[in-house]
Amino acid sequence: MLSTDEGSAEMSSPDNIRKFEYRPCRIATGFDVDFIAAGETFHGICKDVGNSGIRAIFDSSVPVESSGLLILRHPLGLLKLDAQVVYIENHQVGLEFRFNTPWECSVAIEFIASIANHSEPPLIVRFPCV
């Protein structure tokens, strides 16, 4: 049995404290993306998307920390944003959106919300043949 002093020392030890890391909600997807950086175009597939960026797999190596134009080619529409590569892990590339204006940010958030709402199967209406 631990005394009160031993228990509080154990609880306040830096080794026992977990760091909280906020991760925005991501939506699993599978649409085409292009990333244009340093005059080169990289074609890929978006694996998931959130309000702050995407995770994608590209057909060739994307330079770490490169910045450029990211084009999201979702069936609902097209969105072009400045972005920067923030990590590459297991052949997956994390790109963070770089908003130039509050308007760009709000348009991107609306676009991503429409992707989230579109994730349900589409309603198909069939009329009888006459």
- Sequence-ordered strand ranges (E) for the chain: 27-28, 32-37, 40-49, 53-58, 67-74, 77-89, 92-98
Q: What is the pTM of this model?
A: 0.72
Task: Compute φ and ψ for 76, nearest 5 degrees.
Answer: -75, -20
* 23-118 CATH pick, 1.20.870.10, 2.40.10.220, 2.30.40.10, 2.170.190.11: 2.40.10.220
Q: Given a cut of 50, is residue 119 above it in pLDDT? A: yes
The residue among 70 and 75 whose pLDDT is bigger is 70
Three-class secondary structure of residue 113 per DSSP: helix
Per residue in 22-55, pLDDT (tens digit) is 455 788 889 999 999 999 999 999 999 998 999 9
* pLDDT exceeds 90 at position 15: no
Q: Which of 74, 70, 75 is nearest to 99 (CA)?
A: 70
Q: Would you tell me how many other CB atoms lie within 10 Å of the CB of residue 4? A: 7
User: How many angstroms separate the CA atoms of 21 and 129, rounded?
Assistant: 57
Lowest pLDDT segment from 26-35, 103-112, 121-130 = 121-130
